[in-house]
């Protein structure tokens, strides 16, 4: 799905305490694209992505998905927007008390998918991410790379068309990072999931992103095709 961000501003706090952290962000992420949001810590990357899945609301401006303005979505519309967007994080955010299988079935429990169906879907996804044999383990029994694979399977449970990856490889070593980036690329191509990749790492951006927006101090300072942006002069 196409994500369009139109004159977005975001402030935290209000009145005299208000502090604007995103200033007039404009960008379009095309359906099927791997789009990078690159910037140092505190630049505003997470805030921007949280405005896409509506964990935060913009102070002004709009977010459109496939041309539909979702900025004020509530109730069922909000639930539908969230279900269409998977999310993965640096720290994996798995449920420690649940097995791998029951981490992946969790989003399907929330929307009351029947038990047999959610297990079938979870086993399919665990196979896709290469963890079919580990379904009955607990997260603490897995490596970091394996835990991120579980989180990816969970993020795909509701068949989203967009996946937001927030520093998803920042806690992993370089070999594991390369494997996770390969998996994300495969998900982008084979399942046609649009990927938004937030990273502070130039090498992650160069490895996986078709296009990149660089953010500094809450503003887009550079945007374009990865190859052109990083071409040696
Ligand atoms: P990044 O993801 O690039 O590290 P963030 O979006 O997390 O940047 O943060 C951007 C700025 O917004 C920072 O100055 C941060 O301190 C501030 N910020 C983030 N979340 C909040 C919040 N919930 N309340 C107040 N300020 C926040
Ligand atoms: P909290 O909101 O206190 O962080 P939750 O139990 O709601 O705790 O969620 C913990 C983690 O589980 C979240 O950070 C998220 O990664 C994941 N999570 C929660 N709800 C869902 C969901 N519907 N689908 C996938 N992952 C989810």
- Residue whose CA lies nearest to ligand 2 atom number 22: 107
Q: Which atom of ligand 1 is nearest to the CA of 198?
A: 2
Residue 48 CA: which ligand is closest? 1
SS3 assignment for 1-61:
CCEEEEEEEEEECCHHHCEEEEEEEEEEECCCCEEEEECCCCCCHHHHHHHHCCCCCCCEE
Bridge-based pairing of strands 60-65 and 219-225 is: unpaired
Q: Which atom of ligand 1 is nearest to the CA of 12?
A: 25
Q: Which atom of ligand 2 is nearest to the CA of 95?
A: 12
For residue 233, the model assigns a pLDDT of 66
Q: Which of 98, 104, 107, 148 to mutate to test the pocket of ligand 2 (most atoms within 8 A of CB)?
A: 107
For residue 107, the model assigns a pLDDT of 94
Residue 14 CA: which ligand is closest? 1
Output the pTM of the full model. 0.87
Nearest to 51 by CA among 32, 26, 17: 26
Could you tell me if 121 and 157 are in contact, meaning their C-beta atoms sit under 8 angstroms apart?
yes
- Residue whose CA lies nearest to ligand 2 atom number 19: 107
Instruction: Give kind and range of the element (H or E) at residue 196.
Output: strand 194-199
Q: What are the strands, taking DSSP E only, across 39-119? A: 60-65, 68-69, 85-89
For residue 230, the model assigns a pLDDT of 86
Residue 219's alpha-carbon distances to 38, 224, 228, in angstroms, are: 11, 15, 20
For residue 170, the model assigns a pLDDT of 94
For residue 218, the model assigns a pLDDT of 97
DSSP track, 130-174: T-GGGTTS-GGGS-HHHHHHHHHHHHTTT--SEEEEESTTTTS-H
For residue 48, report the distance from its CA to the centre of ligand 1, in Å. Answer: 10
Per-position pLDDT tens, the chain of length 233: 899 999 999 999 888 888 999 999 999 999 999 999 999 999 999 999 999 999 999 999 999 999 999 999 999 999 889 889 999 999 999 999 999 999 999 999 998 999 999 999 999 999 999 999 999 999 999 999 999 999 999 999 999 999 999 999 999 999 999 999 999 999 999 999 999 999 999 999 999 999 999 999 999 999 999 999 888 76
Could you tell me if 23 and 185 are in contact, meaning their C-beta atoms sit under 8 angstroms apart?
no
Q: List Cβ neighbours of 211 (8 Å cut-off, separation of 6 or more).
A: 33, 34, 35, 36, 223, 224, 225, 226
Could you tell me if 137 and 171 are in contact, meaning their C-beta atoms sit under 8 angstroms apart?
no
Residue 218 CA: which ligand is closest? 1
Distance separating alpha carbons of residues 126 and 109, to the nearest angstrom: 17
Q: Which two tokens stand for residue 102?
A: 């029951």
Q: What count of other Cβ atoms lies within 10 Å of the Cβ of residue 176?
A: 17
For residue 56, report the distance from its CA to the centre of ligand 1, in Å. Answer: 11
For residue 14, the model assigns a pLDDT of 85
- Residue whose CA lies nearest to ligand 1 atom number 15: 42
Strand, helix or coil at 97? coil
């Amino acid at each position: 799905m196409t994500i369009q961000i139109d004159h977005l501003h975001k402030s935290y706090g209000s009145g005299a305490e208000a502090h604007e952290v995103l200033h007039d962000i404009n960008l379009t992420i095309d359906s099927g694209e791997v789009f990078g949001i690159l910037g140092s810590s505190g630049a505003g990357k997470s805030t921007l992505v949280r405005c896409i899945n509506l964990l935060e609301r913009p102070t002004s401006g709009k977010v459109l998905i496939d041309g539909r303005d979702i900025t004020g979505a509530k109730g069922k519309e909000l639930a539908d927007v969230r279900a269409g967007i998977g999310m993965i994080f640096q720290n994996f955010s798995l449920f420690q008390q649940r097995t791998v299988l029951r981490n992946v079935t969790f989003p399907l429990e929330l929307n009351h998918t029947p038990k047999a169906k959610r297990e079938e879907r979870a086993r399919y996804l665990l196979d896709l991410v290469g963890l079919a044999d580990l379904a009955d383990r607990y997260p603490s029994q897995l490596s970091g790379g394996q835990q991120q694979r579980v989180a990816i399977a969970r993020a795909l449970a509701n068949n989203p068309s967009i996946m937001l990856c927030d520093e998803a490889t920042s806690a992993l070593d370089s070999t594991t990072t390369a494997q996770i980036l390969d998996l994300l690329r495969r998900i982008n191509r084979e399942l046609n999931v649009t990927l938004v990749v937030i990273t502070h790492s130039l090498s992650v951006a160069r490895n996986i992103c078709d296009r990149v927006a660089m953010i500094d101090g809450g503003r887009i300072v550079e945007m374009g095709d990865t190859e052109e942006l990083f071409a040696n002069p």
